Structures are given as C-alpha cells and as structure tokens.
Amino acid sequence: MNPHALTRRLLAAAAALLMSAGALAVAAPGAAAQEEDKDTLLIATNQEVDTFNPFKRRFVITYETSMMTYETLVRIGADYEPEPGLATEWEESEDGLTWTFTIRDGATWSDGEPLTAEDVAYTYGLLIENQAIHDWNIDFAGNLVSAEATDETTFVLTLAEPSPWDVLTREVYIVPEHVWSTYADPSADDANQLPLVGSGPFQVTEYETDEFIRLEANESYWEGAPGFDEVVYDYYTETDAAVAALEAGEVDIVGNGMGGLNPAQTEALASQDHVTVNDVEGRRYVSLTLNYNSVTQDGTEFGDGHPALKDPVVRQALHMALDKQALVDTVLDGSGTPAVGIIPAIFEQYHWDGGDQLVEFDIEGANALLDEAGYVRGDDGVRTMPGTGERLSFRFYQHADNTAYATIAQFATEWWAEIGIEVVPEAIEQSALNDLAYLGEFDIAFSGWGVGPNPTEQLGMHTCAVLPTLTDGTERSSENNYCNPEFDALHEQQKVESDPDARAELVKQQQALMYADTPVIYLYYQNVMEAYNHDRITGMTTQPSEGGMVTGQQGFTWSYYTAQPAGATEESGVPVWVWITVGAAVVVVVAGGIWFAMRRKSTADERE
C-alpha cells in the first residue's frame, strides 16, 4: 500500500471538485463503497455478466475479468506478439503435432496453492473430455488429442492436425484443479463461485448485479503486484451519466465497458483539464446479422425468420442500400472506417479490402436486383415475395442502451424504404436480444465483436461445425448459423498453413466468400473512443504500445496491470510501470525477427 494514498486521494478529490464546476455529477446508483486506505481503479460499465466461467464467456465484461483473473500459457503482448505467460518456453515437434511447454516455476494460485503442469493438463483435459466445454470451443477443442503433465513443470499437448497459430494465440485460461475438480459440472454457467481463484494480477471477489464488480490485486502475482489495490467496475445505465461521473472525478475510465464514447462525448471531455481523451484505431466491427438460416446440424429448422431473407438477392439488395461511409461520417463523426470483412484494418495482414467485389451504395442498383427477381411493390410501396405475396417487412432489433445503433436504424429504415423494404426497429435490452438471436426469433439484428491477431476464432464462429444441435438457443458457438462447405475447407487449410503470406490469402478468400453470401452485413470498424482521469492514473500501457487503446485490449489487460496511482513509486523511486514498459519495448524489438524461431523454441522474456 502506498503510504501517501490518503493524502493523494484528498488532493485528487479537491481538484476534481474544482475542475468539474458547472458539470452535472451523476454517481452510479449502486456504486461500490471504497476503503479509504486502498488505491481503487474505477471503470465504468453497463454490460451485465453472462458468466464467470472462463470456458463460456462471450461478453466484453467477462472477457476482461477472465483476462485479469486467469492466465494463458502464452499471452498476447502489447503489440499483439506472443510472449511467455504461465509457460516460460515451448517447443514444437517436427511434425507439428506435439507441443511441450515448460511451466513457470514458483507460480501460485491466489489462494497460495502451487500452480503446476497438472493444473494445465486438467484445464486442457476439460476441453477434450467435458462434452459441453468441448462443444462450446469446438473449433479449437476438436483438434486436441491429449493433454499430459509429465512432471510438475512440463506439459505436453498433442494435436490431430498441426495448428501452430492456434496453439500460441488461443486464449485457454488455466484454472486450478484443486478448485474446479470439486464442481459437479464445470461447464455450468454458475460453476465458478466467488471469490474466484486464479493466477492473474487481479481476482474477482465480489459482484452485485447492475451495481459493481470488484477485483482485488493478487499480491503474489509472479510478475509483481499491480499498482492499484483493486479494480472496481461501477455500473451506469447511460454513457452520459458515466461521462458526467468522469468529469466529477467519480470514475476513472470510461470506454469500452460502456460500448465506447460518441464524438459529442469525447468533445465534451476534451475540455476537462484532468481528462485525457483517446480516439484510436480499434479492433472491433459493428454488423447486421440476417436471419437467413436458423437450422441445426441435422437440418432441423427453428425460429421465425422472414422467408425472404433466405434469398441471397434480398440480402444483397439490403447490403447495396446502405451508405456505410455516411454512417461513419455522421454516426462516428469520422472515427472509424467502412467495413468489408470480419478482420479490421488494424490487422493489416489478414484484412480484406473487398477488391472488385466491393459493394457500393446504389439505391437504383438495389431496386433493379429486386425487380429482376420478381419482388413487386404493393399499393403501400412495400415489395412482396413472388409466389406467396408475403410483404417484405422485417423486424429490426437494436441494443436499447446504444444510441449509435438507434441512429443507424433510422438511416437504414429510410434507405431500405427507397427499395421497397419495410423494417420495424425495436430497442431491446442486450441479454434479451441475444436470447432472441440464438433462438432464431428475429429478422435483422445488430451485432459486433472485437477481433484478435489470430483470425481463426472469429472465422470459426461461421463454420458448419458450430451449428447448434438443439433448437432451444442454449448452444451459442455459431454467430449466425452460416454454413458453407467451401468456407469450411478454406478454414481448415488456413489453420494448418505455416507460411504467413499463404495463410493470409486463405483468410482473405474466406472473407470474400462470406461477403458474397451475405449472412452478415459489416457496417464499420469502430475507433476506440475512451477517456480517463490522468490526475488519478499514470503509466498505462496501451495496445498497440504506440498510439493504442487503453480499454478493449486483447489477451492481457496491460493497461490495468501497469496502471499506477498518480504520484506513486516504488521505494527505489522508479515506478513499476517504467520497468514493465521497458521490458515490453524490448520484446517488441525482438519479436518480429524471432516469430518462427519462437514456434520451435521460445524462452522467457527480459522481465524475468
């Protein structure tokens, strides 16, 4: 504990009061009580917890809490390069089927128990042997043959097919066997009980629905204790309320946890002397999912999607009648770029720009497509299906807490009306919308994902292998029930391709196929718009390390781990984050030239 914490807190509070004069201070209704002798990093969020089970988490909030609570064998560095995590070194066999990892000696769980290769083998064993966990992670788990601890510090993983990219970048969070083996069903959403036991820099200790999530620092973390004593996510129902709280010094960070800021909010915050605003290229896409194929693996149809969406002509016309550049200019005020495929431009190697397949905004062309396909307009101007005469009137679901989506829905409604398609927008709470989507009870719905440096996981959510086997909406491995055998064949090829350029070409072909089939319309790649109180926080490592994001990081929460209370230093007088940042820089310089060597044999980095 920093001995000057109380003095610093009083000074910061006084400064916040002066700088927020005239601003409306709105505290979170259920804001967590903070202990005066603790340095607390306060982050605004509005996303409910889906599950604390790291094998099944999908929401942004539980992705972040998983990253802080647990660790992977190999973690994603600040510049998206693989680096040692719980494994200090690893070696791939000549045939690519066997990987041997050396587990970090002396690492412990947050409850003090030693972390060994047995825990790693148990975790990967769940992916292989627990049917529900296996199915939830089928794109990766389906390639695992065996997981064995040959001694306390050696873990051996055997694959059915070589898959170097997945082995080194797939985020498999290692869980403690002495805790998880006591659970009757490790696949259950509520299997993981608080306080969580993990090996990461922070541990989830307390959660009150729609009020707060508290994570306490792991003082015995192998890389050193974090700078803050705890991280608390405070809930705000509206982003404007979170912005006002940041202005008043009642929260420290507003960004990805609230779905990002809008241009008006960033402009308002930029005028605050104590606030730093960040508007940088992100790794997230926003899209519209079209319910064209709600079907199980055995061909059983479910849900109540409009039958016209099964026609690719209708889907292509919907796509053609959207002006994506106008959405970027008006909704994002230029803080983003029009989207084409699933991989954002930040990952340039795998990003596909559309080439000569690029669909341009063309109302006249969209009308011509529908005319030629026999969709005639009725007296009310709405087209009807050939044969059945059913009107092209679609339900259009959006997240109730996202004002940007509401604006997009207004634009889309007007554009689609020009081509004789009626849509009825409806704002629905996020969890309820997700339930309807997986039940197939919708026509058009907003979606969006953050993409990592390895595209396999995102692409794998669009393969035939992850189609549900049930119709009750409980199986959620598929993003939109897309199934194309040609896409699947390319997917299997890219997973095992060792040449980076050849693999990138296969990934781009996958995106081109999905673009032509149009199960999803990718709208834009959204910049990360975020802000934080620099009078309270210093030393946060961004991702990428130069000009990168603070919130919404991938693979490890570098920003929260390296964050220091403003003015705090170690006894030596040098802040911990300086050494971490220097170490990260060394890794970045070296990483580019040794990537392929690391595949065969990688050792711990300079920070050990």
Q: Are 214 and 226 in contact (CB under 8 A)?
A: no
Q: Please state the pTM of the whole predicted model.
A: 0.83
Q: Is residue 388 within a helix (H) or strand (E), and if so which, with residue range? A: none
For 519-554, the pLDDT digits (tens) are: 999 999 999 999 999 999 999 999 999 999 999 999
Residues 6+ apart with CB under 8 A from 12: 249, 535, 536, 566
- Which letter does DSSP use for residue 16 in this model? H
Q: Assess whether the previous peptide bond of 453 is cis (omega < 30° from 0).
A: no
pLDDT tens digit sequence for 322-352: 999 999 999 999 999 999 999 999 999 999 9
Does 460 have pLDDT greater than 50? Answer: yes
- Asked whether 140 and 170 are in contact (CB, 8 A), the reply is yes
Asked if the model's pLDDT at residue 32 lies above 80, the reply is no
pLDDT of 314 over the 90 cut:
yes
Mean pLDDT of 591-605: 37
**pLDDT exceeds 50 at position 25:** no
Residue type, 113: E
In SS3 terms, 436-499 reads as: HHHHCCCCEEEEEEECCCCCHHHHHCCCHHHCCCCCCCCCCCCCCCCCCHHHHHHHHHHHHCCC
Q: Please name each of the domains of the chain with its CATH number.
A: 5-274+534-602 (3.40.190.10), 281-527 (3.10.105.10)
Binned at pLDDT 50, 70 and 90, residue 607 comes out as very low
Closest CA to 16 of 533, 587, 422, 574: 533
Residue 28 pLDDT greater than 90, yes or no: no
Lowest model confidence (mean pLDDT) among 21-35, 90-104, 300-314, 327-341: 21-35
Residue 174 clears pLDDT 60, i.e. is over it: yes
Q: Tell me the pLDDT tens digit for each residue of 152-171.
A: 999 999 999 999 999 999 99
Residue 592 confidence class, pLDDT cut points 50, 70, 90: very low
Mean pLDDT confidence for 585-598:
39
At 50 the pLDDT is: 87
What are the distances in angstroms from CA 294 to CA 101, 199, 308, 495, 511?
41, 40, 13, 26, 21
Residue 521 phi/psi, 5-degree rounding, is -110, 110
Alpha carbon distance, N-terminus to C-terminus of the chain: 23
Is the pLDDT at 413 greater than 70? The verdict is yes
Q: Indicate the pLDDT class of residue 576, thresholds 50, 70 and 90.
A: very low
Tokens of 594: 């040794």
- Is residue 254 within 8 Å of residue 531, measured between CB atoms? yes
* Cα–Cα distance list, 343 to 257, 333, 352 (Å): 21, 22, 7
Q: How large is the C-alpha radius of gyration of the chain?
A: 25
pLDDT at residue 568, as a whole number: 65
- Among the listed residues 523, 518, 452, the one whose alpha carbon sits nearest the alpha carbon of residue 484: 518
Rounded to the nearest integer, the mean pLDDT of the chain is 89
CA-wise closest residue to 72 among 197, 172, 177:
172
